[in-house]
Amino acid sequence: MTKDIIENDPYKSAGVDIEAGEDLINKIKEDVALTHNQNVLGNIGGFAGMFKLDGAYENPVLVSCTDGVGTKVALAQEYNSLKGIGQDLVAMCVNDLIVCGAKPLFFLDYFASSKLIVNEAAEVIKSISNACIDSGCALLGGETAEMPGHYVDDNFDLAGFSVGCVDEAKIIQSKNVGVGNILIGIESSGPHSNGYSLIRKVLNESKKSDEEKKDIAKQLLVPTNLYPKLIMELLENYKINSISHITGGGLTENLPRSIPKDMSIEIQTSTWEMPEIFKWLSKEGDISTNNMYRIFNCGIGMVLIVDEDQAEEISKKISSLNFKNFLIGKVKNKVQNNSVEFL
């Protein structure tokens, strides 16, 4: 490309910098390559990513999901803390995949901004790459879009898409749940990536000093836990009847998705202590306990539903893998409209 064309680039005058996009690819290609394995065909920069299924599955079923991190992005930008936001994006997708028993295979990201700030985007994508490695999946590709006039003030947004695979006979389904099954709640790292429109409102309206708000934001921006490697190891050794990823809708809305419609769940709230960040949100935002359970994970990021006679052993195994966990409740016959009862 000649110097004259570059200096008189009409696309750049409209707010889209092609050279910045090329610079970003050069900055991230090594990080992306670290996520690749023998199943990835081709290199970064192609029109599409290719992934070869190996012979590990008898009757393979592909499982897919897409998600974002919501307005946690806005909080991360406001407090100039982007190192964990890529992990949030990956986690929101791969944690959904594992609920079905599917091993994450690959991930794709979408990064859209008003103006591409190369170092900022590279930091986010490095976080995505690291999270893919921790989840055992490849970062197969992505899209970076500059959209001046649509996004403003250097804002950006993220979305992700992931595909996993599970043998048909090993798909985890709610029909496997029985009355008397025990719920094992696995710790979250904080609010994960849900409820941040309310969180930001509470933080913005707080009378805390700017320095105190900065400390609170640091807690709120802890990246979402990645559960796939933990769950995959458990599935190799134990029977897991059902799994619930506690995301938007909290415990109240997500737990019923993992049990048959004629059953309900009884939660003993005394079995774990709600982390301090949630206590602060409840008090500072005047949010009732019922609404806390309906909006946030309240310290429980993933719930396993298992047979009663295996619950203690599975709990000990989870602890040995450095995840705090709690026996938080049990499955009952449904006797009223409420699917989840908090005691």
pLDDT in tens, 302-319: 999 999 999 999 999 999
Indicate if the pLDDT at residue 153 is higher than 60. Answer: yes
Q: What is the pLDDT of residues 237-261, one digit of tens each?
A: 999 999 999 998 899 999 999 998 8
| pLDDT at residue 9 tops 80 | no
pLDDT the model gives residue 2:
47
Give pTM, 2 decimals. 0.89
Which band of pLDDT confidence, cut at 50, 70 and 90, is reported for residue 41? confident
Q: Residue-wise over 37-52: b if at least 16 C-beta within 10 A, else e?
A: eeebeeebeeeebebe
| Residue 45: band (very low, low, confident or very high) from pLDDT cuts 50, 70, 90 | low
Choice among 6-10, 206-210, 332-336 with the minimum mean pLDDT: 6-10
Answer for the pair 242, 176: CB distance below 8 angstroms, yes or no: yes
User: What is the pLDDT, as a whole number, of residue 308?
Assistant: 94
SS3 track for the chain: CCHHHHHCCHHHHCCCCHHHHHHHHHHHHHHHHCCCCCCEECCCCCCCCEECCCCCCCCEEEEEEEEECCCHHHHHHHCCCCCCHHHHHHHHHHHHHHHCCCEEEEEEEEEEECCCCHHHHHHHHHHHHHHHHHHCCEEEEEEEEECECCECCCCEEEEEEEEEEEEHHHCCCHHHCCCCCEEEEEECCCCCCCCHHHHHHHHHHCCCCHHHHHHHHHHHCCCCCCCHHHHHHHHHHCCCCEEEECCCCHHHHHHHHHCCCCEEEEECHHHCCCCHHHHHHHHHCCCCHHHHHHHCCCCEEEEEEECHHHHHHHHHHHHHCCCCEEEEEEEEECCCCCCEEEC
| pLDDT score for 16 | 62
The pLDDT of residue 116 is 74
Which band of pLDDT confidence, cut at 50, 70 and 90, is reported for residue 287?
Answer: very high
Q: What is the pLDDT of residue 157?
A: 86
Where is pLDDT greater, at 72 or 11?
A: 72
- Show the domains of the chain with their CATH numbers: 3-170 (3.30.1330.10), 174-342 (3.90.650.10)
pLDDT band at 7 (very low <50, low <70, confident <90, very high): low
